[in-house]
Amino acid sequence: MIILFQPPPGLGAANPSPFCIKLEVLLKMSELPYKIKIEGNPGKGPTGKIPFIKDKKNMMGDSGLIQRYLENEYKVDFDAGLTDRQKADGLAYSRLADEHLYWAVVYSRWMEDENWAILKKIFFGKLPIPLRWIIPGIARKELGKALHGHGIGRHNRETIYALAGEDLTAISGFIGDRKFAFGDEPKAVDAALYGHLSGIIDAPFDTPLKRAALSHDNLVAYNARMRARFFPELGAPPG
């Protein structure tokens, strides 16, 4: 059976990590049996990031690569019935969320002092002293470097949120008034979009990013719809 390694639910969402939400939704869509093993330390995974899985004795990281693995190994067709053009659009929007919008979320959580104070307690509050005093600062510094390396971290706050606001407007236009991205049934792109939207809309951080997401009624409804479909045990989104 596939073992999914990820942290426990948190930050008002099925998982504090958008990529863990994405992968768990994909696993649920696949209807393959899987078991969750709680693991909060990305360093334990093969790529140093969460989520990761173990299947048939192999460890594997990266939600996108795991998606391809499930497609190849188990013949799961996450995009059944879509045209090549729709599949291309789905991949492009997944990448928009995974590789761009995500980094604005990282900025909002880790670089904004008031959000960092909340995040630090949740992520590191249970570490024994003196690790609790040392690790959070190191992790924050590393993410500051990652934001700089990505490029988005070289912009000021206003620009970062303006760029992310454009992503959200594009996603809102993409979803339109459909139930899911391509109609009445969720496809691969819905797993990615929901992971990131939930991390923005459901998390307890009042940021321009969240306000931008909340200004799109269709995104709020879509987030609630995905949550009700894949994580009914969580109940309605907070707030």
Ligand X SMILES: N[C@@H](CCC(=O)N[C@@H](CS)C(=O)NCC(=O)O)C(=O)O
Q: Where along the sequence are the contacts to ligand X (CB under 6 A)? A: 17-19, 42, 48-51, 62-64, 98
Min CB(95)–ligand X separation in Å: 10
Min CB(50)–ligand X separation in Å: 4
CB nearer to ligand X: give 61 or 165. 61
Min CB(15)–ligand X separation in Å: 9
Integer-rounded Cα Rg, in Å, for the chain is 17
- The whole-angstrom distance between residue 216's C-alpha and the CA centroid of its chain comes to 19
**34-37 CB contacts, 8 Å cutoff, 24+ apart:** 34/1, 34/2, 34/3, 34/4, 35/1, 35/2, 35/3, 35/4, 36/3, 36/4, 36/5, 36/6, 37/3, 37/4, 37/5
CB nearer to ligand X: give 62 or 190. 62
CB nearer to ligand X: give 19 or 124. 19
Q: How far apart are CA 169 and CA 165, in angstroms?
A: 6
CB nearer to ligand X: give 124 or 183. 124
Min CB(109)–ligand X separation in Å: 10
Min CB(42)–ligand X separation in Å: 4
Q: How far apart are CA 195 and CA 20, in angstroms?
A: 8
User: Of how many residues is the chain composed?
Assistant: 239
Task: Output the CA torsion 233→19→49→30 (10° steps).
Answer: 70
Phi, psi values for residue 60, rounded to 5°: -145, 135
Min CB(184)–ligand X separation in Å: 27
CB nearer to ligand X: give 19 or 107. 19
CB nearer to ligand X: give 125 or 149. 149
